[in-house]
Amino acid sequence: MTAHERREQLISISRELFAEKGFEGTSVEEIAARANVSKPVVYEHFGGKEGIYAVVVDREIQNLTGALTTALNIGGHPKMIVERMAFALLDYIESNEDGFRVLVRDSPMTQNTGSFSSLIGDVATKVEHLLADQFKKRGLNPKTAPIYAQMLVGMVALTGQHWVDERQPKKAEVAAHLVNLAWNGLSGLERRPQLSLDHSGSDN
């Protein structure tokens, strides 16, 4: 096995272990044992567990970012953009389940920092500009586009986290339901939304 082949083998094995056990639950000993090499070989290639984890996360971020960015950059009708974004995420999960589990397991969306949450924030920023343009055309306040972008992207991302475990219903059906909620919600936005109940004391 060449040095490059060994490196790729270690990355693949580490991805599986990180997806299964998380960063804290995985050891260099386990990586080395599963690859049938000694611990020094792992250290030689990556300098330790942190190094190989960083490589795994970086690759997955690049793969997912590329898929989502392509879906957003094609342009077209906003409803089609939502559909492509939902499919891009579900396609990625289907073909890179271990990689997705690594991203969401050790970088939950509830954290202010972290690989997955940072990626979702970047995607939301791109969606924000698309929504702002549509809001202007519909007479809605474009200043509210950032929060709607977070809601939209967050909905898709959290649905993906649920689907990676359940895998029901089928991908196309999940995407259709996502688009149904997102698009029908967006198309019926009120100019000045109001709450039905009095929450005037909730901010005190």
pLDDT in tens, 33-48: 999 999 999 999 999 9
The mean pLDDT of 131-149, rounded to a whole number, is: 86
**Tokens 């000694």 appear where?**
38
Provide the percentage of residues in the chain whose pLDDT is more than 90: 34
Most confident listed range (9-18, 128-137, 154-163): 9-18
Per the prediction, the chain carries an average pLDDT of 85
Q: Give the amino acid at 181.
A: L
The mean-pLDDT minimum among 24-33, 36-45, 156-165, 180-189 falls in 180-189
CA–CA separation, 100 and 164 (whole Å): 8
Q: How confident is the model at residue 8 (pLDDT cuts 50, 70, 90)?
A: very high
The mean pLDDT of 108-118, rounded to a whole number, is: 54
Name the residue among 105, 95, 20 with its Cα closest to residue 64.
Answer: 95
> Residues 123, 82, 176, CA angle at the centre, nearest 5°?
135
The mean pLDDT of 137-154, rounded to a whole number, is: 87
Give me the pLDDT at residue 203, please. 59
Supply φ then ψ for residue 137, to 5 degrees. -65, -30
Q: Give the amino acid at 192.
A: R
Q: Give the amino acid at 147.
A: I
Provide the percentage of residues in the chain whose pLDDT is more than 70: 92
Cα–chain center distance at 115? 9
DSSP3 helix / strand / coil % (the chain, rounded to 5): 75, 0, 25
Name the residue among 80, 83, 68, 93 with its Cα closest to residue 162.
Answer: 93
**pLDDT greater than 80 at residue 198:** no
Q: How confident is the model at residue 91 (pLDDT cuts 50, 70, 90)?
A: very high
**pLDDT greater than 60 at residue 68:** yes
Give me the pLDDT at residue 63, please. 87
Give me the pLDDT at residue 98, please. 92
Give me the pLDDT at residue 149, please. 86
The mean-pLDDT minimum among 49-53, 113-117, 126-130, 144-148 falls in 113-117
